[in-house]
Amino acid sequence: MDESFLEESEELDEKMSQSSQNIKRAIETVRTVREECRKTTTIIGDLNGKFKTSNACST
Amino acid sequence: MASSKLPTPVQHNLLQKLTEGFENNNKLTQTLIEEIVESEADFASVKTELHILRDNVKSLSEIIREGSGAASIITKIALLEQRLSVIDKWVEKQEEKEKENTEFKSVIDVGLVTIKTHLEEIKKHLEEIGERHDQEDKENQELVFEKKKTKISTTAERHNAIMKIVTAVAIAVVGLISGGSLASFCGQNSAKQKDKIVIVQPQVSASVSITK
């Protein structure tokens, strides 16, 4: 009974460790996506600003 | 019942580790959720900017396709292309004309050189002819002068001869009248030369030849 409990506990610990690593990778991925999202926002914002300037010049 | 049993120290230690692991995972999951929630704001910003970009592209497309109150950009580009083709043709024509002009100019240059050479030859000829005419004029003037001189001398000689004849006749008449025989005088001289009259007087004698 004790041995089986020990084995299950080790297995659970292993899975928990894997889960923890997966979550960390997910967090990193989300942070990377957010960073790229911010960069994209900046680029599109600049482009829209140029459109505004162009419209102001044309009018 | 097994649940009524207290865990051994080893089991307790393991359960404590598992509990810590769960707590750690819980914290990480919380962090992930927070990151995902925060990323929603970033995605919303991108979405907003993309909407603005879509509107801008739409208005730009309208300007390009339909124009905003004036001719569309496509129409303007088509007109510009037509004008550009006309300008290209004009430039090609000008280049051809320039080429023809260059060839014509080279031909004219050659012709001008030839004409210049001919003109120089004509000038030489004219100078030679002028010199010849001057020489001939000079010779003619000298000839005329000689003729006039000859004529004048001939006339003078004639005058002298006539005067001599008249003088001789007058002397003869005066001599005959004064004492000589006119008839014998005439008879003696008529037998001699027709164009030569010899008058023999005691004091005067004259010989005159008249050329016809």
pLDDT of residue B62: 86
Q: Which domain holds residue A46?
A: 18-59
Structural domain count, chain A: 1
Q: Output the six-digit token pair for B148.
A: 């006039």
In tens, the pLDDT along B71-117 reads: 888 888 999 999 999 999 999 999 999 999 999 999 999 999 999 99
Per the listing, tokens 């025989």 go with B181
Residue B146 has pLDDT above 50, yes or no: yes
- Please give the share of chain B, as a percent, with pLDDT higher than 70: 82
- Tell how strand B205-209 and strand B196-200 pair up: antiparallel
Q: How far is A56 from chain B (nearest CA, A)?
A: 13
| Spatial distance between the Cα atoms of B161 and B206, rounded to a whole number of angstroms | 10
Using the Cβ of B22 and the Cβ atoms of chain A, whether some distance falls under 8 Å is answered with: yes
A33 within some domain: yes
Using the Cβ of B28 and the Cβ atoms of chain A, whether some distance falls under 8 Å is answered with: yes
Whether residue A51 and residue B56 make contact (CB cut-off 8 A), yes or no, is yes
Q: Judge whether B185 and B176 are in contact, CB under 8 Å.
A: yes
| Spatial distance between the Cα atoms of B21 and B34, rounded to a whole number of angstroms | 20
Nearest to B52 by CA among A57, A55, A18, A26: A55
Q: How far is B61 from chain A (nearest CA, A)?
A: 13
pTM, to two decimals: 0.51
Whether residue A20 and residue B43 make contact (CB cut-off 8 A), yes or no, is no
pLDDT of residue B201: 46
In tens, the pLDDT along B158-194 reads: 899 999 999 888 888 888 777 655 555 555 555 454 4
Q: Judge whether B39 and A30 are in contact, CB under 8 Å.
A: yes
Q: Judge whether B144 and B150 are in contact, CB under 8 Å.
A: no
Predicted ipTM of the assembly:
0.82
